[in-house]
Each structure stands twice: as structure tokens, then as C-alpha cells.
């Protein structure tokens, strides 16, 4: 079954029900308190503060775009790139591309002009659909991509000379489903790796892989038609969209929040009666910090509908969840482990009933298998560190046009993740670190995530990243880049004293006070830190902002 069939089923069963809403707090009328805004479902007033579409409207918009693309010569197997901020148009456009038999190619909204050009070329994209936020970046390369991109559609007013207006052209197309036969084995989407190790790779997934994400997510978290999913992370990434897929499967409503401030998250969760919220570590931390500073009072928000907070995309500090449960004791909690190569929503997950194992990423997800292997490919004993491998219905088909890279990670169907992990006596998997991030100091392996988790237990530390720096005697030493919470002054001696509880070989040899950069999916951008600090003199206690 292609994933488009699920959308069509929802349109048939729940046609007039609201499917998606987009909420932009920046556009809310300033003269009216948020809780007094009298918005009804589907209201398009208040300067676009809230936009919504029904399941029937969602499917019709997807059909109209599909018919437009087919009219313009798009055919099965063509690649259609999508470069949009989260918005009400994003998902109908994505499903419209899939309905043509073409392959959707979502692009990271932080890409520079050069990165956009590179990824368009890597994916062999022939169509680009983009929004006004990217006009300058696309215009800068419009001449270079003119030979390969035969159609540019602009989602907004006043398209540039080289693009056509999406709204007017698609609105003129029939709302009926195009007669393009699809099956679950058909290619569906190309996602790009996060690029934290250099140039991103193009990851090819089938319709069956996308459908498996729907099934896995819903099996883990039991979404029903009544659940309301608050989606905050970027839709170009597998994480956010694949978790929403659990709601798609059952016809549950989704709300796209444009913005990540703690107040907005709680305001919209309250207003929309969100029951499932997927957060990244920095956002959860910001919410807790704002509450602890007295900037927000939980009594001001009716959050009784919110039943599940879950986090993925990165290791989750146990101290963060302990703090969260203190403020939100009624919340169920889950953490999910997945890669773009394994479609995102939980090839491994903790499980709602296993909050006592916070710190672990969990066990094999629904329909998945796991193993941990050594350098020789053999299973390692429980308690020892090895590389985590996963096998399941959401494993990618390949790295597009890169058979060598594909062969390096796909072996007999098993995806070798590059993540170092260990399994405890109860069968729970703990993520230790990325294989490439392991620091070898004086012959000892250091796993930065373990040191980072320890340091986050310091009440003055907001975020931390541990990287290896070259050392003539030890080969490498561990350096901790520490971002302090507001109001705290840097004090290297105090941090070193805090680290005295660690075994001596695990203690950071350098302390650097700086901001910790993260990408849009919340992963620490360690290559940026290595580029900044490795190879040159390190200025300790450097403070920015």
C-alpha cells in the first residue's frame, strides 16, 4: 500500500474533520490576550495567525498539485525538491508529489545557496518548489541550476522571474485523484543525512518504508482519532513528519507550530488541547528553565489534554527527564532512536512503561530487530560497547547514486548505524556515542556522551559538548565546551571540582565556555566546534553574547 492511500482513506472517512492547522504566534493580534482569541476551526482571520484544512481539503490540494505537475511533464521517478518552512502547504505538497509517482526531496531550510545547489544535483532534482524565505538563496544559483531544474514553483506572492506561482496554477487544476498506479515498493522520498560529518548523503526510501513509520509510531504511542499532535520540528526531517505519521494512520489532527519559545509551546498546547508533543532536548530544557526562573506559571495553562511528551533525534540527559517529571508528573514519557536511514520514529524506543530506565534508548521498536557488534562483526557480550545495528521495515533502500557508501552500512539487510552502544542485563540499549566521536586518550576510549550527561547534572550548565583535541603526549584530550545558564559567570575551577566524581581518565582536560551549536533537529554540530578549536590555541573561558 502506498502512503498516499492512507490520506485518501482519511478523506473518505473523515472528510469534513480538521486535519491540519498552522499556528503562527507572531501574527496573533497584540491587543487581545491569547486565551481570549475567539477562533473557530478553520478560521483564516487574525492575519493568518491560524490556518486550517480538513482531510478532504488536504487530499484535494494534494491532487491539484499532482495534476499540475503531471500537466507540466513530471513523470514517475522524477525528483521534486521541497524547500519550505513549516506551513499549511508543506504536507499537501509532499503528498501531491507522491501521487504523481515522483520522488519527494525535502531540503533543509538552513541550507546555503551552495548546499541547495549541491543537494539538487545529488538527487537529480528536476523540479523545485520553494517559499519566499528562500528567494535570495535560490536566486543566487538560478542561473547555475537552470539546465537541470525545468520547473520552479513559488509558494507565495510575487514569484521571481524564473518561477511560477504555485497557488494560482494548482487552484486551477481538478481536485480529482490522478490515475497513476502506485505500489508499496515504489520509490517515494529522498532525505538527506544531517551533514554533521560533512556533505550530506541522499537517502532513498520507498512507500513501504514510509507506511512502516506510520505503523511503528502508532504501535508505540497508541494514537487515536481523538489525539492531537503538536508538531514543532522541521518537516523536511524524518523525525517530526514520521511521528506525525502515527496520527495520519488514525486520522488524528495535527498542529504545526511556527516557533519554539517556551511560552508559545505551552500556549498552543493549551489552546489546541494537544495530547502528544514531540520535543527536542533544547526546547524541553528551555521550558523547564523558564518555569524555574518564574517566567511562566504552569497554573496559567490548562494542559490536562497533554498525555505524552517524547523526545528523539539525540541522546537525552536523564537529569532533564527527572526535572520534567517533577513539573509534569502526569505525563507519559518516551524516547525514540532512529536515523534518516531507518526512517526516524523508533527503530529503538524506551517504551511508555519504562520510565525507570531513563538514560537508555530502549529496546527494538515495533517490527524491528537490533544487535550490537564488534569490529569483526561478531556480537559483543552484554555490558560491552559495540556498534548498534538495526533491521526492520524502515531501512533505506540505498544511498542514492552511492553504492560504495551503501555497501559500507547495509550488510545482509542490517543497517550499521555508526553509533556505539551497550546493552544492560535487562536488555535495554544505552547509546554511548557516535563511532567517529570516540576520543582515544592515552590508549583509553572516552565516550563524549557519558561525560556530557554527567556535566549536565550541574545546575549551572545549560548545554555541553565534549570533543577531542590533539595532544602531543596523549594523542587526544577531552575538551568540554560549556554553555552556562543565564546569570552564571564562568568558573573553570568550579567545573573541574565538579568533575572530580568522574574517573580521572574521563575528566575533561580543557574547559571552554562558549555557545553549543545545534542543527535544526537538535544534534550538536561537533564539526563546527572541532573546526573552531582543533589545531589552534584554545582560549579558555571564551564567552559569546
DSSP 344-397: SS-SEE--TT-GGGBTB-BEE-TT-EEEEE-TTSPBPPTTS-EEEEEESTT--S
Is residue 29 predicted with pLDDT exceeding 90?
no
Residues 354-382, mean pLDDT to the nearest whole number: 93
E strand spans, 451-506: 461-471, 475-484
Is residue 110 predicted with pLDDT exceeding 90?
no
pLDDT score, position 482: 96
Give 401 or 537, the one with higher predicted confidence. 401
pLDDT score, position 136: 96
The answer to whether the 4-326 and 438-533 domains have the same CATH topology is no
Percent of residues, the chain, with pLDDT higher than 70: 90
Rg (CA), the chain: 23
| Residue extents of the structural domains in the chain | 4-326, 438-533
Is residue 111 predicted with pLDDT exceeding 60?
yes
Percent of residues, the chain, with pLDDT higher than 90: 68
Is residue 304 predicted with pLDDT exceeding 70?
yes
pLDDT score, position 543: 29
User: Model confidence at 198, in pLDDT bands (50, 70, 90)?
Assistant: low
pLDDT, tens digit, for every residue of 231-260? 998 899 887 788 999 999 999 999 999 988
User: Model confidence at 353, in pLDDT bands (50, 70, 90)?
Assistant: very high
pLDDT score, position 531: 83
pLDDT score, position 388: 95
pLDDT score, position 196: 43
Is residue 317 predicted with pLDDT exceeding 50?
yes
pLDDT score, position 343: 86
SS3 51: strand
User: Model confidence at 30, in pLDDT bands (50, 70, 90)?
Assistant: low
The CATH T-level fold of domain 4-326 is Rossmann fold (3.40.50)
The CATH T-level fold of domain 438-533 is GMP Synthetase; Chain A, domain 3 (3.30.300)
* Mean of all residue pLDDT scores within the chain: 89
pLDDT score, position 539: 34
CA distance 166 to 56: 20
Amino acid at each position: 500500500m502506498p502512503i498516499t492511500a492512507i490520506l485518501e482513506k482519511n478523506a473518505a472517512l473523515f472528510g469534513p474533520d480538521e486535519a491540519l492547522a498552522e499556528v503562527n504566534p507572531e501574527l496573533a493580534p497584540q491587543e487581545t490576550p491569547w486565551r481570549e482569541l475567539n477562533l473557530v476551526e478553520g478560521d483564516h482571520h487574525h492575519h493568518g495567525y491560524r490556518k486550517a484544512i480538513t482531510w478532504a481539503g488536504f487530499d484535494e490540494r494534494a491532487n491539484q498539485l499532482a495534476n499540475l505537475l503531471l500537466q507540466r511533464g513530471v513523470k514517475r521517478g522524477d525528483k521534486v525538491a521541497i524547500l519550505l518552512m513549516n506551513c499549511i502547504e508543506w504536507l499537501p505538497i509532499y503528498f501531491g508529489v507522491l501521487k504523481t509517482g515522483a520522488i519527494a526531496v525535502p531540503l533543509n531550510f538552513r541550507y546555503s545557496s551552495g548546499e541547495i545547489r549541491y543537494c539538487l544535483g545529488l538527487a537529480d532534482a528536476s523540479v523545485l518548489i520553494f517559499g519566499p524565505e528562500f528567494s535570495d538563496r535560490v536566486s543566487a544559483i538560478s542561473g547555475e541550476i537552470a539546465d537541470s531544474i525545468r520547473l520552479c514553483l513559488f509558494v507565495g506572492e510575487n514569484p521571481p522571474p524564473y518561477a511560477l506561482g504555485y497557488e494560482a496554477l494548482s487552484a486551477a487544476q481538478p481536485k480529482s485523484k490522478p490515475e497513476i498506479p502506485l505500489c508499496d515498493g515504489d520509490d517515494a522520498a529522498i532525505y538527506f543525512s544531517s551533514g554533521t560529518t560533512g556533505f550530506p548523503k541522499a537517502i532513498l526510501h520507498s512507500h513501504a518504508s514510509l507506511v512502516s513509520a506510520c505503523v511503528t509510531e502508532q504501535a508505540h504511542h497508541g494514537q487515536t482519532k481523538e489525539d492531537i499532535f503538536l508538531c514543532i520540528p522541521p518537516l523536511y526531517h524524518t523525525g517530526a513528519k514520521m511521528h506525525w505519521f502515527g496520527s495520519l494512520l488514525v486520522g488524528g489532527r495535527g498542529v504545526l507550530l511556527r516557533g519554539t519559545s517556551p511560552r508559545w509551546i505551552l500556549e498552543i498546547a493549551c489552546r489546541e488541547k494537544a495530547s502528544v508533543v514531540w520535543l527536542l532536548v533544547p526546547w524541553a530544557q528551555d521550558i523547564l528553565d523558564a518555569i524555574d526562573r518564574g517566567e511562566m506559571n504552569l497554573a496559567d495553562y490548562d494542559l490536562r489534554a497533554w498525555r505524552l511528551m517524547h523526545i528523539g533525534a539525540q541522546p537525552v540527559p536523564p537529569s532533564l527527564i527527572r526535572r520534567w517529571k517533577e513539573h509534569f508528573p502526569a505525563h507519559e514519557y518516551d524516547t525514540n532512536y532512529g536515523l534518516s536511514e531507518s526512517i526516524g520514529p523508533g527503530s529503538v524506543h524506551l517504551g511508555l512503561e519504562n520510565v525507570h530506565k531513563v538514560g537508555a534508548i530502549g529496546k527494538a521498536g515495533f517490527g524491528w530487530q537490533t544487535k550490537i557488534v564488534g569490529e569483526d562483526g561478531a556480537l559483543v557480550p552484554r555490558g560491552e560497547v559495540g556498534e548498534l545495528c538495526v533491521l526492520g521495515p524502515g531501512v533505506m533502500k540505498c544511498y542514492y547514486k552511492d553504492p560504495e557508501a551503501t555497501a559500507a552500512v547495509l550488510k545482509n539487510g542490517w543497517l550499521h548505524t555508526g553509533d556505539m552502544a551497550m546493552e544492560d542485563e535487562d536488555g535495554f540499549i544505552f547509546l554511548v556515542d557516535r563511532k567517529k566521536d570516540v576520543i582515544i586518550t592515552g590508549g583509553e576510549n572516552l565516550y563524549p556522551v557519558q561525560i556530557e550527561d554527567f556535566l549536565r547534572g550541574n545546575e549551572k550548565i545549560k548545554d555541553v559538548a565534549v570533543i577531542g583535541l590533539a595532544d602531543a603526549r596523549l594523542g587526544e584530550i577531552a575538551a568540554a565546551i560549556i554553555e552556562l545558564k543565564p546569570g552564571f559567570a564562568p568558573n573553570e575551577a568550579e567545573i573541574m571540582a565538579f568533575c572530580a566524581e568522574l574517573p580521572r581518565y574521563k575528566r575533561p582536560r580543557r574547559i571552554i565556555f562558549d555557545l553549543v551549536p545545534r542543527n535544526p533537529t537538535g544534534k550538536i554540530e561537533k564539526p563546527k566546534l572541532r573546526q573552531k578549536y582543533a589545531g589552534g590555541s584554545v582560549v579558555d573561558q571564551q564567552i559569546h553574547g
